[in-house]
Each structure stands twice: as C-alpha cells, then as structure tokens.
Amino acid sequence: MAREAYLVPVVEAQVATLKKKTAVTTSWISIDAKGQSVILDVDKYAIMRRVQVHARDLRILDPMLSYPSTILGREKVIVLNLEHIKAIITAEEVLLRDPYDDNVIPIVAELERRLPQDNLTCQDQGEEEEEHPSARNDMDTEEENEFPFEFRALEVALEAICSFLDARTRELEIDAYPALDELTSKISSRNLDRVRKLKSAMTRLTNRVQKVRDELEQLLDDDDDMTDLYLSRKLAGACSPVSSFSVPSWYPPSPTIGSKISRTSRASAVTVEEDNDVEELEMLLEAYFMQIDSTLNKLTTLREYIDDTEDYINIQLDNHRNQLIQLELFVSSGTVCLSIYSLVAAIFGMNIPYTWKEGHEYMFKWVVILTGLLCTSTFTSIVSYARHKGLIGS
C-alpha cells in the first residue's frame, strides 16, 4: 500500500511534464489601456488562465482551423475572429495573436496609438476638475459619452478589417474591369483564363466579406448579444455594492473605467434600463456594417458586370456558331450538286455498249443543261429551307 501511494505523485508529475512538452507555444501581444505592449510566448493554457476563457472559445482563434468570422461576448472577454485579426479583448487589455504577421503589425501600431488617447484626455480633465470643481457635472457628462476600453479596441479591429477588405476589393476592380473589356474586344484562351482566375478570386473575396457582414448583422439584430459586449458595464456592476474605500485588487487601470466605477459606487445602483441600453454599441456596429455592406455592393456590381460580359461573349459565340453552320450548309449543298454531276458522268463514262449511244451525240448538251438546272434548284431549295428554319441569316 505504501508503494502504491508513493507511485501516484510520480505518475502525476510525468503526466504534467508530458503536457508541458506537448503544449505548443504561440506568440501573443498584450496591449493595455496606456498603449503599452508586451510580447507573450505562451501556450493556450496560459492564455486560458490569464483571461479566464474556455477552450472552445479559444479554439475559434486557431489559424489551423477554418472558423468563420465571429464576435463572441463572454462574461469577461470578447473573442474576436475577423480574418487575420484574432484577438481577445478584456476590460483592461487586448491580446492579439501573431503580432509579427504583416497584416497584424499595422493593427498593433494603431492600437498602441489610439487606446491611450482617451486616458490622456481623462487625466487633463482630472486636473481641470481639481482647479475648477464647478465643472464636475460637465466632465461627468463627457466621460459618459466616451467609449469604454473594449469598444475602442473593437472599433480599431472593425476599422482594420473593413479597410482591408475594401482595399482587396479595389485591387480586384482595378484588375478585373480592364481584363473584362479586353476579353470583350478579343476572345482568346489567355483572356478567358485571366478572367476565370479573377472570377474565382472575386468569389472567394465575396464569401469573406459576406461572413463579416452576416456576423455584424447578427449582432445588430440581437440586443442580448450586444449587451454581452459591455465588459466595463458588467465590471462596474460587479463592484457597485463595494464601498469606494474598499476597492478590489482587480481594479482596472483605465481611468475611464475607474471613473465609471466611482460614479457607480456613488450612485450605489444601476437601473435595468441603463443595463439594457446598447445605443452606443449599435451606432458603432451600424457604421461599420454600412461600410462592409458598401464593399459587398461593389463586389455584387463586379459580379453583374462579369455576368453581362459572359452573356455578351455567349452571344458572340452563338453568332460565330451560326456562321459556321451556314458555311457547312453551303459546303454540303455544293457537295450534293457535285454528286449529281458525278452520277451523270459515271453513267456516261461506263464502257458498256448501249444502242442509244449511236447517232445521239446531240444529247450530251441537253444532259449537261438539265443536270445544271437540277443542281441549281436543289441548292436553292436547301438554302430556302435553312432560312425558313432560322439556321442561317437572310
């Protein structure tokens, strides 16, 4: 029994060591409300412990798995998967995956530039408040109109993805319209292959834009989902019963959030109507929904132009096909007429003695004339029948 009790910790230690070896570390960057960034080379378990997110939500950010564009609101985080933007937003920091990616580097710079702006404004307002206590109410109103930290980070991500998709759409338009015009003027294998590749690229880009648009539309249609994105409000509600003298250890470093918490503690309660108010987030999502919808309209217009070009090309091909049918009909008619001549020549060219050959040399010219008239009438009848059926033009 003592031996078995001794082996249990050893096995657990081996399992823990095996988990550490099998865990794959990934690069993350943490950006706080002051715009300070820190590179984190940790595995997914460390991220789960840091932001208290479930594994199924973190799996959405795995680039090896093909998950559609998603914006998930959880208890303490916002899980964001928009194309190359894979981020976890909390009320205090933003965790962005793959910070060394070429498409992610501008987003990191934008977050570092825009996140601390409101904080500096709040600090300046705090100094003015000390100098002019009578301006406290006006400053509280301004603070209420400011976006929380998570919304500022969400705005940067939405702006980046909308600009990225719009840029890809404009590049596609620059390549597609000249290629379609060139194909209209000259139908060749090279032009057809070029348009085929552009159409495939347009279809893939349309699907990507459609996924982002559908996700924003789904959020706008559900007030409960938008309410889940108010992390600062939930944080302020969680600490509202606490006295202003006993601030918890997880007090947020953002002055905006801190001012909201202090106001909440002074008010001692937040009404249900205010908790359900999602107007500011709705306005934010609506703006970028209109932008992504405009990008989708550009792609729809391009698709319609491609469809019109395909219809025009099909009409041209039908015209060429009718010309070939007409040429084939003329050749076939001429072949029939020559066959009649060949039949008459074969009959008269036989080396078989006939009694009517003697003394009837004058019949040769009549045979030639009648055969020519028969061939002409046959050719005319075939052409008239083809025109009547619409096989050739008039």
Provide the CATH number for the domain around residue 72: 2.40.128.330
Q: How many CB atoms are located within 10 Å of the residue 84 CB?
A: 16
- Kindly tell me if the per-residue pLDDT of 248 is higher than 90: no
- At 218, list the tokens: 């789904």
Pick the range with the lowest mean pLDDT from 11-20, 28-37, 64-73. 11-20
What's the CA gap between 219 and 70, in Å, rounded?
10
Task: Dump pLDDT digits (tens) for 261-302.
Answer: 444 444 433 444 455 578 888 999 999 999 999 999 999 999
What was the pLDDT predicted at 377?
78
3-state secondary structure of 84: coil
Q: How confident is the model at residue 331 (pLDDT cuts 50, 70, 90)?
A: confident
Q: How confident is the model at residue 339 (pLDDT cuts 50, 70, 90)?
A: confident
Residue in the block written with tokens 């406290």: 136
In a domain, 285, yes or no: no
3-state secondary structure of 32: strand
Q: How confident is the model at residue 394 (pLDDT cuts 50, 70, 90)?
A: low
- At 275, list the tokens: 């908790």
User: Of 85, 116, 147, which residue is a domain's last?
Assistant: 116
In a domain, 31, yes or no: yes
Question: Across all residues in the chain, what is the average pLDDT?
Answer: 76
In a domain, 155, yes or no: no
3-state secondary structure of 240: coil
User: Of 95, 116, 137, which residue is a domain's last?
Assistant: 116
Nearest Cα neighbor of 92 from 119, 110, 70, 69 is 119
What was the pLDDT predicted at 352?
65
In a domain, 250, yes or no: no
Helical H segments across 52-188, by residue range: 55-58, 105-114, 117-131, 136-145, 149-185
- Kindly tell me if the per-residue pLDDT of 316 is higher than 60: yes
Q: Which residues contact 63 (CB under 8 A, 6 or more apart)?
A: 86, 97, 98
Nearest Cα neighbor of 60 from 95, 33, 87 is 87
What was the pLDDT predicted at 131?
53
Looking at the chain, how many residues does it have?
A: 394
To 10 degrees, what angle do helices 255-267 and 136-145 make? 120
Pick the range with the lowest mean pLDDT from 90-104, 114-128, 204-218. 114-128
Greater pLDDT, 266 or 354: 354
What's the CA gap between 293 and 297, in Å, rounded?
6
Q: How confident is the model at residue 117 (pLDDT cuts 50, 70, 90)?
A: low
Q: Which residues contact 327 (CB under 8 A, 6 or more apart)?
A: none
Burial class for 167, CB neighbours closer than 10 Å (0-12, 13-18, 19+): exposed
- At 309, list the tokens: 């070009």
In a domain, 379, yes or no: yes
In which region does residue 43 sit, left (phi positive, over 0), alpha (psi from -120 to 50) or beta (all else)? Answer: beta
What was the pLDDT predicted at 195?
92
Q: How confident is the model at residue 5 (pLDDT cuts 50, 70, 90)?
A: very low
Q: Chain-centre distance of CA 25, in angstroms?
A: 29
Q: How confident is the model at residue 391 (pLDDT cuts 50, 70, 90)?
A: low
Q: Which residues contact 65 (CB under 8 A, 6 or more apart)?
A: 59
In a domain, 90, yes or no: yes
Q: How confident is the model at residue 338 (pLDDT cuts 50, 70, 90)?
A: confident
CA 384, 389, 394 angle in degrees (round to 5)? 55
- At 371, list the tokens: 């055969």
- How many domains does the structure of the chain reveal? 2
Instruction: Find the domain containing 347 and state its range.
Output: 322-389
In a domain, 346, yes or no: yes
Greater pLDDT, 244 or 192: 192
User: Of 67, 85, 116, which residue is a domain's last?
Assistant: 116
Instruction: Give the mean pLDDT of 181-188.
Output: 89
What was the pLDDT predicted at 108?
92
Instruction: Give the mean pLDDT of 27-56.
Output: 88
Nearest Cα neighbor of 115 from 154, 173, 73, 169 is 154
Q: Is the dihedral of CA 115, 116, 119, 121 positive or negative?
A: negative
Provide the β-strand partners of residue 41: 27
The Cβ-side half-sphere exposure at 199, using a 13 Å CA radius, reads 14
What was the pLDDT predicted at 279?
87
Pick the range with the lowest mean pLDDT from 204-213, 280-289, 292-301, 337-346. 337-346
Greater pLDDT, 387 or 312: 312
- Kindly tell me if the per-residue pLDDT of 253 is higher than 70: no
Instruction: Give the mean pLDDT of 96-108.
Output: 90
In a domain, 52, yes or no: yes
